[in-house]
């Protein structure tokens, strides 16, 4: 009996030590606008970190944070809204946190349209190197995968579609959001277009295209276009790539750090009218 009791005590002590060493806590709640409307697919995470998630269709979220990150900040962001950050230690064990995001005041940039006959151009990487691919995996199953490419413009353009070459296929529908960023210090920076462009579809091997003709997107500077795979049934996507193609970027968590693709650039291009 004493021997059994000793085993139980030792086991209990080990469990307590393990929980303390690898402790984490859960923050859950809902992301809303000032009008109490749910904000779906808001990016939630630690800036330049590996912990993140997105809110669901109803704005609700659930994120597990290691105790070691209690002194960091958790940032909430969504297209058309201002970012909001909280000290993580102040949110510890919050089970029904309501995060209210303020809408951005968006000033429209004037784009001059000429009477000259416009032509269509494919800008970016329109081909790929056989047998070369870029497998991309999110750090957590409930987080995003984002592949991006710098697009060079010689003059103002209207964007007609965005395209990415996918090698892996999806058995179920996936949600893909298209984002546009400026280039800052050689990496994607602030958001340029405050439009939520999300497509729900099954992905087959080959070029996946998002039509932009009805979006009235005009850009007059070099920009980064990014395909963001929102959390679903798979957290690994394999993309086609071209050897030696530079100016290609990826990130594997909401609010996370951008990294450059090393061996080759992801096959992404834009069709633009100029």
Give me the mean pLDDT over the 207-217 stretch. Answer: 95
Q: In this model, does residue 173 exceed pLDDT 70?
A: yes
Look at residue 9 in the predicted model and tell me its pLDDT: 35
Give percent of the chain with pLDDT exceeding 90.
66
Shortest CA distance to 246 belongs to which of 221, 227, 266? 266
**pLDDT (tens digit per residue) in 106-124:** 665 555 556 678 899 999 9
Look at residue 110 in the predicted model and tell me its pLDDT: 52
**CA dist list (Å): 195 to 11, 44, 245:** 54, 18, 28
Look at residue 113 in the predicted model and tell me its pLDDT: 55
pLDDT band at 258 (very low <50, low <70, confident <90, very high): very high
Give percent of the chain with pLDDT exceeding 70.
87
Domains in the chain with CATH codes? 22-101 (2.60.40.1120), 120-273 (2.60.120)
Give me the mean pLDDT over the 161-173 stretch. Answer: 88
Q: Rounded CA gap, 200 and 176, in Å?
A: 6
Let me know if 5 is exposed, middle or buried by CB neighbors in 10 A (0-12, 13-18, 19+).
exposed
pLDDT band at 4 (very low <50, low <70, confident <90, very high): very low
The DSSP-derived string for the chain is: -HHHHHHHHHHHHHHHHHHHHT-EEEEEEEEEETT--B-TT-EEE-TTSS-EEE--TTSEEEEEEEGGGTTSEEEEE-TTB--EEEEGGGGTT-SSEEEEEPBP-PPPPP----SSPP-EEEEE-----TT-EEEEE-SSTTS-EEEEEEE--SS-EEEEEEEEEE-S--SS-EEEEEEEEEEETTEEEEES----EEEEE---SEEEEEE-GGG--EE-S-EEEEEEE-SSS-SEEEEEEEET--SEEEE-STT---EE-SSEEE-EEEEEE-
Q: In this model, does residue 133 exceed pLDDT 90?
A: no
Question: What length is written for the chain?
Answer: 274
Look at residue 168 in the predicted model and tell me its pLDDT: 84
In DSSP terms, which residues pair with 229 in a beta bridge? 145, 176
Name which residue leads in pLDDT, 236 or 243: 243
Cα torsion at 36, 106, 194, 216 (round to 10°)? Answer: 120
pLDDT band at 18 (very low <50, low <70, confident <90, very high): very low
**pLDDT (tens digit per residue) in 58-107:** 999 999 999 999 999 999 999 999 999 999 999 987 789 999 999 988 66
What b/e readout covers 45-81, taking b as 16+ CB neighbours within 10 angstroms?
Answer: bbbebbbbbbbbeebebebebeeebeebbbbbbbbeb
Give, for 25, the enclosing helix (H) or strand (E).
strand 24-33
Look at residue 264 in the predicted model and tell me its pLDDT: 83
Look at residue 134 in the predicted model and tell me its pLDDT: 84
Q: Rounded CA gap, 14 and 135, in Å?
A: 38
Look at residue 189 in the predicted model and tell me its pLDDT: 95
Q: In this model, does residue 12 exceed pLDDT 50?
A: no
Give, for 266, the enclosing helix (H) or strand (E).
strand 264-266
């Amino acid at each position: 009996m004493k021997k059994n009791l000793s085993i139980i005590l030792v086991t209990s002590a080990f469990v307590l030590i393990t929980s303390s060493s690898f402790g984490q806590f859960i923050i859950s709640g809902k992301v809303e606008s000032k009008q109490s409307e749910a904000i779906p697919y808001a990016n939630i995470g630690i800036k330049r970190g590996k912990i993140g998630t997105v809110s669901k269709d109803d704005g609700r979220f659930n994120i597990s944070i290691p105790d070691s990150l209690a002194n960091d900040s958790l940032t909430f962001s969504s297209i058309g809204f201002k970012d909001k950050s909280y000290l993580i230690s102040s949110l510890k064990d919050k089970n029904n946190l309501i995060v209210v995001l303020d809408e951005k005041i968006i000033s429209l940039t004037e784009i001059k349209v000429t009477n000259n006959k416009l032509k269509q151009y494919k800008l970016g990487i329109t081909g790929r190197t056989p047998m070369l691919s870029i497998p991309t995996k999110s750090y957590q199953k409930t987080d995003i995968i984002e592949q991006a490419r710098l697009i060079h413009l010689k003059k103002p353009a209207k964007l007609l579609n965005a395209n990415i070459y996918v090698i892996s296929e999806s058995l179920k529908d996936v949600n893909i959001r298209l984002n546009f960023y400026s280039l800052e210090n050689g990496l994607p920076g602030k958001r340029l277009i405050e439009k939520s462009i999300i497509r729900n579809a099954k992905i087959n091997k080959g070029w996946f295209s998002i039509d932009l003709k009805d979006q009235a997107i005009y850009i007059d500077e070099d920009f980064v276009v990014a395909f963001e795979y929102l959390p679903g049934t798979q957290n690994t996507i394999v993309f086609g790539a071209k050897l030696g193609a530079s100016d290609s970027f990826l990130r594997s968590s909401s609010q996370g750090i951008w990294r450059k693709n090393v061996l080759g650039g992801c096959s992404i291009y834009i069709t633009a009218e100029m």
